[in-house]
Amino acid sequence: TQLLEQSPQFLSIQEGENLTVYCNSSSVFSSLQWYRQEPGEGPVLLVTVVTGGEVKKLKRLTFQFGDARKDSSLHITAAQPGDTGLYLCAGALEYGNKLVFGAGTILRVKS
């Protein structure tokens, strides 16, 4: 059983559409990160959220940390083919000693 449940597992959308990826857990995290991974490469950090209720924006990407610090969401507005990739959420347990990852969401944006 995954400590962090990510949904959906796969998402195939048209260019210009909006989408949301969810990351849920019953555990409380001291921080939560979102990463993007392309085939054959390591995950690349997009953002870190630390405070419950925090919202961060990175161009067309909006990240939200739940009030109880157990869940997070990633919203992409007007998706582009360049957004295609594997999106991973990761929660820090034990104050940074252990970073656990969700299984990931494979996003494909078609032009």
Partner 1 sequence: DSGVTQTPKHLITATGQRVTLRCSPRSGDLSVYWYQQSLDQGLQFLIQYYNGEERAKGNILERFSAQQFPDLHSELNLSSLELGDSALYFCASSALAPGTGGTEAFFGQGTRLTVV
The residues of the shown chain that bind partner 1, judged by CB under 8 A, are 2, 30-31, 33, 35, 40-45, 48, 50, 88, 90, 92, 94-104
Q: How far apart are CA 90 and CA 92, in angstroms?
A: 7
Which helix (H) or strand (E) segment holds residue 99: the answer is strand 98-101
Residue 57 or 110 having the CB closest to partner 1: 57
Residue 29 or 109 having the CB closest to partner 1: 29
Report in angstroms how near the CB of residue 97 gets to partner 1 at its nearest: 4
Report in angstroms how near the CB of residue 104 gets to partner 1 at its nearest: 6
Residue 65, beta-bridge partner list:
72
Report in angstroms how near the CB of residue 49 gets to partner 1 at its nearest: 9
Q: How far apart are CA 67 and CA 15, in angstroms?
A: 31
Q: How far apart are CA 28 and CA 96, in angstroms?
A: 12
